[in-house]
Structure 1
């Protein structure tokens, strides 16, 4: 967890961390990534200014002044990006994340904290890395995963897999579900998404059945009577994210689906892909269902469909039949 009052940071960095946590409501993981990127950049700048000769990880930036911030130029940022590429061997996506972190930081310094007059990232021109298609399970693989979870005789674990594959929810959303978030009259449940945004997830018959069978066991556990969480651990407390990840990993392994790079988040991709390919869900519907802030995030699933069309063409049994005759004259 990020330390928002870290004595090894200059005050302006700690204040930024509080801002993105309290005002911007960024996820803890995102804040941690931003913090790592910005701290590395400040150490890079400090070393260039003071020539300490130390590795960047050992440089103390506590005494870095606002005056030094004001001297940072776009050239410093380009030099930093070159350093991350040339010496740290960062790939495109990692470098692009660092740029996003710095843009957020300097925008705060200029517009919110008013510590600098000019934002050096304003004219930063860096190509956006090409988005890769998300990994997902096929329909048959999804069925195999469900069958494997069912054969394990754990109603909790089966219910977890069922919700992931049918609802497309995030790991944090699933772990955060409370029993009183479920509305069986309307067959829906409330989840808390990114930036603490609530949304309703509708439940199909498979989800309702899995929830009812799990809750029959859950309610007969007197030791968990006061625990509001839907999914609980063997210690009768809210299940952890890591434990859910282990359940998914173990089930994938038993189903013979390990080694494919599938995670809890890839099960979310699987749910969205199946709904787009086999259901009547259009992109706007998927956007609401998945809780995406921007439709551009959801449009990745239309590209998946394009790939399926290409694969269908390539798999045509006539695709390798070519004429043996030389080209005819016009």
Structure 2
């Protein structure tokens, strides 16, 4: 298939993460299915057969099917990268995406949870009362570590899944994270998180959870944790403190960044902690801070 060369390129030369490669593959397969519907004679056998009309028609169908503008924009970005590659390879003489304008994406503020409520849940104090949420067994300790790691470091779900025990430096109190495009960064750990990590590793050893890969987080049977397990864990525990629809690991990443900014942390420092490639990606959190200041102003100022 003519898409294979591009997939090999982003996988081995660009060294994109498996998650990113899978997303590119999915977008391209979906586009190809639109061009060559089942039970019909294929009309597109290579990138040179695709026109800007084909891409526009696909966009229209996606929008008609209720696909969000953000998702459509991402899919068009996939096509831009693919046809740019095809142009460089000499497979086409003109890029059909050059005549395509992606739909405007509405800007949304990052969704966060209440930091005080989250801290209360982790400390076992819900609404000022003692309320033990996490069990003392292996599963409870691991679940608490999942929440603490995401909230305490701001790492992405995929990054947390990939952390190994050897990535944790108990001498420097840091954790090494492998981010997007295999870029490593070092994140400091607070003292409570360090103690929880030590306790978790002890419980894992004492209960003889068998795991040969040395991955930090494992299932009850010792297998490597997988993204769905992490997502379900976060969603379940955040249900104790929030009724908002979004209760994902990325919400904890947003909460981490917003909390730091509200406490006066430098934006460039937050950028490095989050592993953003440029500052513009980090600046979105300033909007949450401005909204918080407006709220404080309205509550506290006589003419607010």
| Contact persistence 1:135–1:261 (CA under 8 A) | yes
In structure 1, the partner of 2:55 is 77
Corresponding residue SS for 1:237: coil
Distance 2:156 2:215 in 1: 16
Distance 1:289 1:77 in 2: 38
Deviations 1:14-49 (A, max 9, x none): 222222222222233333333333233334444xxx
The total of aligned residue pairs comes to 294
Structure 2 residue aligned with 1:266, among 238, 251, 266?
251
CA RMSD after TM alignment: 2.5
1:93 deviates by 1.0
1:147 deviates by 3.3
Question: What aligned pairs does 1:138-149 form with structure 2 within 5 A after superposition?
Answer: 138-148=114-124
The TM-score, its normalising length taken from structure 2, stands at 0.86
Answer yes or no: is 1:109 the counterpart of 2:86.
yes
Corresponding residue SS for 2:93: coil
Distance 2:6 2:232 in 1: 34
In structure 2, the partner of 1:152 is 135
- Larger Cα-atom Rg: 1
Question: What aligned pairs does 1:54-73 form with structure 2 within 5 A after superposition?
Answer: 56=37, 58=38, 64-66=44-46, 69-73=47-51
Residues 59, 204 of structure 1: alpha-carbon distance in 2 compared, 3 angstrom cutoff: farther
Which runs of 5 or more structure 1 residues have no equivalent in the other structure?
1-10, 47-55, 321-330
1:281 deviates by 1.9
Answer yes or no: is 1:118 the counterpart of 2:103.
no
In structure 2, the partner of 1:313 is 297
Corresponding residue SS for 1:115: coil
Question: What aligned pairs does 1:71-220 form with structure 2 within 5 A after superposition?
Answer: 71-85=49-63, 87-111=64-88, 113-126=89-102, 128-148=104-124, 151-153=134-136, 154-220=140-206
Distance 2:184 2:18 in 1: 17
Deviations 1:55-86 (A, max 9, x none): x4x256867333xx32533333233322322x
Corresponding residue SS for 1:156: helix
Which runs of 5 or more structure 2 residues have no equivalent in the other structure?
125-131
Corresponding residue SS for 1:108: helix
Deviations 1:106-151 (A, max 9, x none): 011111x320011121243335413311111122221233135764
Corresponding residue SS for 2:97: coil
Distance 1:249 1:61 in 2: 45
Distance 1:60 1:314 in 2: 62
Distance 1:130 1:104 in 2: 23
The TM-score, its normalising length taken from structure 1, stands at 0.80
